[in-house]
A and B are shown apart, each in its own frame.
Chain A
Amino acid sequence: MLMNPRVLVIIPAFNEASNIESTVRAVVDAGYDYIVINDGSKDSTLDICRLNGINVLDLSQNLGIGGAVQAGHKYARHYGYDIDVQVDGDGQHDPKFIPLLVDEIVNGADLAIGSRFLSSTDGFKSTYLRRVGIKWLSFWLQLFTGRSIKDPTSGFRASGCRAIKLFCENYPDDYPEPESIATSLKAGLTVSEVPVRMRERQGGVSSIGGFSSVYYMIKVSLAISIACLTKRS
C-alpha cells in the first residue's frame, strides 16, 4: 500500500438540505477530498450544493443508499483514488475518526468499519431495539462467515482498492451495509473494525423504523445467507 494514498470522502445525501453544508465543512476542515452524492433529493440539497460550490455528483433518479454509495465508489475509481471513506450526510459520523479508518486500510485491510461497540467510550450507540437488531445481524454474519463484526450496520467505513473494485461491480441496493461485509468476506477481502464514536443524527429522518425495520431484518438476514451460500466466480 502507498504511503500517501489519495483519499476520497463519499457523502451520500438524500434530502439532507439541513445538514449537508455542515457535514461538508467538517470534512473539508479535516483536509480531505470529498464528493457529495445527491441521490435524487426532493428538497433543496442540490441547490445548496451548487450555491456553495460543493463538489456534487447529481443522480437524476433516486437509487437508494446502495446505488448512491456505489456511484461514489465508481467516482473514486474513475478519478484514481486509492481509498474512499463513506461518511453519511446527516452528521452522525465525526470526520476526526477518518484518519483511523484510513490507517487501517494503509496497514493492509481492504474494508475498515467504524464500529460503535468496540470501545467502552460514550457517544451515540443507537436505541435499545436497534442494538438488539444489530446483535442479531452480527450473530448472523458470524454464523455464515465465521467472522465477528460488532457493528455490521455502520455506514462509516473506508474501502481500499480491492474493495472499491468489488463494490463498483456489485453493491446491494437497499440496506447495503451488512450484506456488503458478507460479500467482501466471501470475495476473500480483509475486513476489520476500528472503534469510533458516533453522534446522534442532527436532522433528517432515519431510513429505518416502524414496519420497515421488520422488512429490514428479514431482507438483510436473507441477503447475508444468499451472499454466503452462492459461489462467486
Chain B
Amino acid sequence: MSFAIRFGSALVFLFLLLYVCSLVSKGRLLLKYSLLWIFLCCLALLSLLVPDLVYCISNWLGFITASNFVLVIAIVLLLLISLSLSIAISRLVLAIKNLTQRIALLEKDLENHKRIR
C-alpha cells in the first residue's frame, strides 16, 4: 500500500469520523445509531495506521490477499448497519401505528365529551 493511498484514506475516514461526531453533537444523529459508524471509522483508521495487523490476521485466517479480507469485513459491517436501520424503521412504523390509533381514540373521546356537554 503506497503512502498516498494510506494517507488519503486515513484522511477520508478521519473526516467521516469527525462528521459523524458533529452530527451527534448537533443532535441530528442519535448516539445509538452512530456507534456502528464510529466503530467502522476507528477500525478503518486502525488498519491504515498499522497495516501489518491486517496482513497478519488476513494471513492467519487464510485469505489469499489482504484486500479480500478488508472487503469482507467492510461488507459485513455495511450489512450490519443496514440491518440496524431496518430494525430502527420497523420500530418507528410500530410506534407511528400505535400513536395514530391512540390519537384517533383520544379524538373520539373528546368528541363524545363535547357532545355530552
Contacts and interface: CB of A to CB of B under 8 A. Distances in A.
Interface of A: 57-61, 63, 67, 70-71, 74-75, 78, 173
7 contacts: A57-B108, A58-B107, A60-B103, A61-B96, A63-B97, A74-B105, A173-B93
B97 A67 contact: yes
A205 B82 CA distance: 35
Contacts, number: 33
B interface bracket (residues with beta carbon within 8 Å of A): 10 to 19
Given A57-B108, A61-B96, A74 B101 contact: yes
A173 B103 CA distance: 18
B100 interface: yes
Interface of B: 93, 96-97, 100-101, 103-105, 107-108
Contacts of A57: 104-105, 107-108
Contact of B100 (A63, A75, A173): A63
B100 A78 contact: no
A170 to B, nearest CB: 10
Contacts of B105: 57, 71, 74-75, 78
Given A60-B104, A67-B101, A71-B101, 5 more contacts: A60-B103, A63-B100, A67-B97, A70-B97, A70-B101
B112 to A, nearest CB: 9
A67 B96 CA distance: 10
B26 to A, nearest CB: 28
A163 to B, nearest CB: 18
Contacts of A60: 100, 103-104
A75 B105 CA distance: 7
A72 B103 CA distance: 13
A168 B65 CA distance: 55
B116 to A, nearest CB: 14
B103 A63 contact: no
Nearest to A71: B101
In the A-B complex, list the 8 residue pairs whose CB atoms are closest, starting with the nearest.
Answer: A71-B101, A61-B100, A67-B97, A57-B104, A59-B104, A59-B100, A63-B97, A57-B108
A57 B101 CA distance: 9
A18 B108 CA distance: 24
A74 B103 CA distance: 12
B2 to A, nearest CB: 49
